[in-house]
Amino acid sequence: MRITPILHGYGERQLHDVSRLLHPRSIAVVGVSDSERSFGNFVLSNLESFDYAGQLHLVSRSSVEVKARACVASIDDLPEGVDVAVLTVPASAVIESVRACGRRGIGAAVVFASGFSEAGEEGERQQAELSRVAAEGGVMVVGPNCMGLSNLVDGVPLTFEPQMLGSDDSARLRQETRPGVAVIAQSGAMSNNLRDALIANGLPVMHAISTGNEAVLSIEDHLAYLVDEPRVGVIALYVEQVRYPELFLAQVARARQAGKPVVMLMPGRSARARDAVQSHTGALAGNHAAACVRLRAEGVLLVDTLDELFDVTTILHKFPVPPAAPPALLTNSGAIKNCALDLGEDIGLTFPAFTDATVSGLEAILPSYAVAENPLDFTTISAKDPEAYTRLCKVVADDEGIGGVMVAMMGGPRVGQLDKARHLVPAIAQCTKPAALIILGDQTELIPEFRQAIAESGVPFFRSVDRAVRAFTRVEQYGRSLRRQRVESSERRLPALPGSGLHAEYRCKEWLADMGIAFPAGRLATSADEAVAIANQVGYPVVLKAQSADLPHKSDAGGVVVGLADEQALRGGWERLQSAVASARPELTLDGVLVEAMGRSGVELIVGARRDPQWGPVVMVGLGGVWIEALKDVRLLPADAPQEAISQEILALKGAALLTGLRGSEPVDIPAIAEVVARVGEIMLSCPEVEEVDINPLVAYPEGVVALDALVVTSPQHN
């Protein structure tokens, strides 16, 4: 087995070169029989339907001939060096079959059988043994528990699913002038579902790959191949678990650099979060959330539903590098316009205003009573003048602030459908920005001429405004992600925090202050007299906070006393604090008590970061108080997000009105908030020992911010 060292230094594994698997010159089907409905016969029939031109070998214990093709009795009877063996054998025979493949120098094996890691502890043990045997023999294994894979453009269907395609379809795919689509899914059924849906949308699907349990080959291996495959322009993924995150991120980064969109559905948002360190950051930036942040940062277009996966892939097949601007919607219905506006508000899409030049151009076409705004209701002018479609689409598409064009209408009577076929479809097809046709009426029948015009044009076609608007929203987000600036790791090195684990608040504040994060004036006291001296320096009123790395939740133990206005109140507060902590935690020895000036009221936020063990650092910003407790109103960002992008995310919070001046209050200093978030990101990029940072609350004012509390967790292996 040849290993292609595409990447180095990730400590995960190298990539397998799957070109021999996807372009086999020889194939052995193991487990064929006389039964027409056996998996072996299904594989053989598929290969015949595509006129597979390579050497084809059959292995059967029960037959000497199947479909007029000679069989051998065992894998050991095969010629040396067959490229791929398709194992249509029961789970109990898989490991020995793979061992035999290794003896004969077979490059790869496709394993359909189930009953491995998905089936409990014994299945996991069997899969581990399968992986070991495959490694010893140098055999790349697809699966187990998969439906195989198909190189449709070259006519190599290594799957037991009866194929509706054949050699004529492969020939047509080879004539495609635009790069096609590839599908990879860890679920066999989902791989087939994606393939069929995209083909039905008129897309040329070149590869459909089911990876199953990934005992040897994983999504990363196939993804690396497809990034380099010139006949593939868009890659659609269904992924339940990324086994090698850094390797995966490196491949999608290569795809971004090659101009190949990667559209991905990754379920798991609703899964119960893993136990996290004692902070909001850990709870809200769990594994799935961290994965999404890192993936989006590398340009992966993450979708939430299968419909979005179908629809976005369809748009990006024709427009792989979309503008970073929202779309326009054109319709002849005020009702559709209103529905689109409501939907846009629900999903965070703002239909941008047209430029003055666009408004003038539209007013020259529209009747006097029409309003030249986005969404555009162009009324009934197309009924009398169907050529108006071309002029309308061109004027809107030429607007520099518009990132795409959607036209939504009813199909209408036959004459109307013919007009759309002859004028509207070509007008949309000529758009140089993402463009789509939406014909309402759900499954209302369209005349053959109209359907043929749509199919031949390659125009993305929808029967739902909702699906189209959601897809274009994703495309806009993707366009913006491609243009995202990145912040390099800081050259500045901070002094390490001594020890590891959760650190006491006063130590965290001293350390974070070196990065320019502002905290209330104060310091640690070990006696009441020292506390009084500190209070006299910082000014009353003051707050007292018990300090120990073993006391992260100070309030729960009575370790916080606030609003101490003078020396007498301070001394009384000192005694109450010491007594309460001793009662709640008698085994605890405090480092001392932090004496700080009381912070003035402002808008409370939370800023944090967490280093996910698989996906690395993720930064969080959100509104504090009830917003964090009840609504979890936070935004997650990559650690290298620039301040401009951070500010945009802050303004995308559900409660952003609290920051921008609600009911006459002064707006707070959003750039100052963004700077703290950026500083925390810099810490995570520059200090690998830091596992978590939690600043809660960060109080924002019209000018500046102050952090009232801070938590830092470091890892022992870096100390």
How does pLDDT run across 199-227, given as a tens digit for each residue? Answer: 999 999 999 999 999 999 999 999 999 99
Q: Considering the domain boundaries, does residue 639 fall inside one?
A: yes
Tens of pLDDT, residue by residue over 282-295, are 444 458 889 999 99
Which tops the pLDDT comparison, 524 or 552?
524
Confidence band (pLDDT; 50, 70, 90) for 703? very high
Average pLDDT score over residue span 327-347: 95
Average pLDDT score over residue span 344-350: 91
Find the DSSP H helices in 90-200: 94-103, 121-137, 167-174, 188-200
- What φ, ψ does residue 449 adopt, rounded to 5°? -60, -40
Contact in structure between 112 and 90 (CB atoms under 8 Å): no
Mean pLDDT of the chain: 92
Q: Considering the domain boundaries, does residue 495 fall inside one?
A: no
DSSP state of 116: S
Q: Considering the domain boundaries, does residue 350 fall inside one?
A: yes
Asked if residue 444 and residue 382 are part of one domain, the reply reads yes
Average pLDDT score over residue span 52-68: 93
Asked if residue 569 and residue 638 are part of one domain, the reply reads no
Q: Amino acid letter at 143? A: G
Average pLDDT score over residue span 444-451: 96
Using the 3D structure, point to which of 166, 196, 228 is the last residue of a domain: 166
Average pLDDT score over residue span 268-274: 53
Structural domain tally of the chain? 5
* C-alpha 139: how far from chain center: 31
103 contact partners, CB below 8 Å, separation of at least 6: 75, 76, 137
pLDDT at 664: 79
CATH number, domain containing residue 551: 3.30.1490.20
Q: Considering the domain boundaries, does residue 489 fall inside one?
A: no
d(CA 145, CA 231): 28
Asked if residue 479 and residue 535 are part of one domain, the reply reads no
Average pLDDT score over residue span 162-176: 92
Average pLDDT score over residue span 161-166: 89
pLDDT at 385: 92
Confidence band (pLDDT; 50, 70, 90) for 719? low
* H or E element at residue 291: helix 287-297
Q: Considering the domain boundaries, does residue 415 fall inside one?
A: yes
CATH number, domain containing residue 401: 3.40.50.261
* H or E element at residue 28: strand 26-30
* Residue 330 scores a pLDDT above 70: yes
Asked if residue 157 and residue 41 are part of one domain, the reply reads yes
Contact in structure between 658 and 682 (CB atoms under 8 Å): no
Contact in structure between 390 and 342 (CB atoms under 8 Å): no
Asked if residue 314 and residue 210 are part of one domain, the reply reads yes
* Residue 665 scores a pLDDT above 90: no
Q: Considering the domain boundaries, does residue 503 fall inside one?
A: no
Tell me if the pTM is above 0.85: yes
d(CA 259, CA 262): 10
Asked if residue 453 and residue 327 are part of one domain, the reply reads yes
Contact in structure between 692 and 713 (CB atoms under 8 Å): yes
d(CA 592, CA 158): 69
* Residue 3 scores a pLDDT above 70: no
Strands in 376-377's sheet, in edge-to-edge order, are: 376-377, 327-331, 404-410, 435-440, 461-462
Strands of 240-353 (E only): list them: 262-265, 301-303, 327-331
* C-alpha 173: how far from chain center: 29
* Residue 7 scores a pLDDT above 70: no
Asked if residue 398 and residue 470 are part of one domain, the reply reads yes
* Residue 396 scores a pLDDT above 90: yes
User: 164: which 2 tokens?
Assistant: 């509706």
Strand partners, 264: 237, 302
115: left (phi over 0), alpha (psi -120 to 50) or beta: left
560 contact partners, CB below 8 Å, separation of at least 6: 543, 544, 545, 546, 554, 577
* Residue 276 scores a pLDDT above 60: no
d(CA 349, CA 340): 10
Q: What is the DSSP annotation of 532-553?
A: HHHHHHH-SSEEEEEE-TT-S-
pLDDT at 275: 39
* H or E element at residue 345: helix 334-347
Out of 359-368, 479-488, 606-615, which region has the weakest mean confidence (pLDDT)? 479-488
Burial code (b: 16+ CB inside 10 Å, e: under 16) for 228-254 equals: ebebbbbbbbbbeebbbbbbbbbbbbb
CATH number, domain containing residue 675: 3.30.470.20
Asked if residue 185 and residue 314 are part of one domain, the reply reads yes
pLDDT at 373: 97
* Residue 21 scores a pLDDT above 60: yes
Asked if residue 238 and residue 137 are part of one domain, the reply reads no
Whether omega before 613 lies within 30 degrees of 0, making that bond cis, reads no
Confidence band (pLDDT; 50, 70, 90) for 464? very high
Domain region containing 262: 176-320
pLDDT at 164: 87
Asked if residue 201 and residue 140 are part of one domain, the reply reads no
d(CA 414, CA 283): 57
Q: Amino acid letter at 48? A: E
Asked if residue 460 and residue 350 are part of one domain, the reply reads yes
Using the 3D structure, point to which of 146, 166, 186 is the last residue of a domain: 166
CATH number, domain containing residue 73: 3.40.50.720
Contact in structure between 27 and 82 (CB atoms under 8 Å): yes
Out of 229-238, 262-271, 614-623, 672-681, which region has the weakest mean confidence (pLDDT)? 262-271
pLDDT at 9: 33
Using the 3D structure, point to which of 270, 297, 320 is the last residue of a domain: 320
pLDDT at 35: 84
DSSP state of 671: H
Average pLDDT score over residue span 441-453: 95
Asked if residue 329 and residue 355 are part of one domain, the reply reads yes
Distances (CA, A) of 617 to 46, 287, 682: 46, 11, 10
Confidence band (pLDDT; 50, 70, 90) for 495? confident
pLDDT at 274: 36
Average pLDDT score over residue span 548-565: 94
Q: Considering the domain boundaries, does residue 494 fall inside one?
A: no
Average pLDDT score over residue span 39-53: 95
Q: Considering the domain boundaries, does residue 9 fall inside one?
A: no
Average pLDDT score over residue span 491-517: 86
432, HSE (Cβ side, Cα atoms, 13 Å)? 5
